[in-house]
Amino acid sequence: MVHNMIGLKKKKRVIPGFGISMGITMTFLSLIVLIPMVSIVITSSKMDITQFLQIITDPRIVAGFRVSLISALIAALINCAFGVLIAWVLVRYDFPMKRVVDGIIELPFALPTAVAGIALTALYSNNGWIGGFFAQFGIAISYTQTGIILAMIFVGIPFVVRSIQPVLEKLDPKYEEAASILGAGRGTIFFRVIFPEIMPAMLTGFGLAFARAVGEYGSVIFIAGNTPFKTEIVPLLIMSQLEQFNYEAATAIALVMLIISFAILFFINSIQVYASKFSKG
């Protein structure tokens, strides 16, 4: 009987060799994630607080943070709205070439960011197919903050769609039918039945899209124009400091970005946990 109980305890382990697996996992995460982050903190700690504040409060650096964060926020919010719509169409409707459209959603994952940046710049410049049309009305897209937002939307939309799509697939349409029978309108059904279910997934997609947009370089650098105080993004400022061998300034800017990223992820996860509990309640 004792041997049977020992056997049952051993069977409860899902992963064989848990200790070795956990050791490999922690080593991999340390080499890829933790050690590079710690190195940023250690390098920044070599500067005194006055030097650090002088770097990050430079008007050009502050303008870069403002451009990156505001553009990323707008792009992530737009992606949330259109991501829900795209996921809804892909899940609830059947139409010709549906698999092709579903595959196109992941194109920003596979396409090199530099190629995307060149393509967007050519398309939305004043001489491009789409940019030329808007240029007739005095609206410029490329080399403006609008172009930056557009590029960030391009790289972020798959995160929102792929986060919401599985939730919609598991959502039983019978709940919507029951609400409709009880007299609820389409708007009420969406906001009272569907939205609470997809909200945690949407917040996850929002956080991922926002984080990707803030750190995006390749697809944004070409369409931004890189005008100081107007269209310079933070990754470009870091690269500029590295090219000048000013490693202290580059590390200081990177540390601020790291802190902002942690704060955003913590905030998004807190809201996600709350929304998940609210939807269950």
| 224-238: pLDDT as tens digits | 888 888 888 998 888
Distances (CA, A) of 259 to 1, 140, 262: 55, 34, 5
Radius of gyration of the chain from its Cα atoms, rounded to whole angstroms:
24
Segment 137-175, tens digit of pLDDT: 888 888 889 999 999 999 999 999 999 999 988 887 777
Which pLDDT value is given to residue 275? 65
**CA dist., res. 269 & res. 258, Å (int):** 16
Which pLDDT value is given to residue 201? 87
Which pLDDT value is given to residue 265? 78
**pLDDT, mean of residues 27-42:** 76
Which pLDDT value is given to residue 114? 85
Which pLDDT value is given to residue 8? 47
Position 247 pLDDT exceeds 70: yes
Which pLDDT value is given to residue 12? 58
Map out the domains of the chain as residue ranges: 55-280
**pLDDT, mean of residues 177-190:** 79
Least confident range from 5-9, 218-222, 258-262: namely: 5-9
Position 120 pLDDT exceeds 80: yes
Which pLDDT value is given to residue 39? 73
Handedness of CA 88, 92, 93, 99 (dihedral sign): positive
Mean pLDDT estimate for the chain: 83
Architecture of the domain defined by 55-280: Orthogonal Bundle (1.10)
Confidence of residue 66 (pLDDT cuts 50, 70, 90): very high
Go through 46-61 and write b for each residue having 16 or more CB atoms within 10 A of its CB, e for each that does not: ebeeeebeebeeeeeb
**CA dist., res. 46 & res. 248, Å (int):** 9
**pLDDT, mean of residues 172-199:** 81
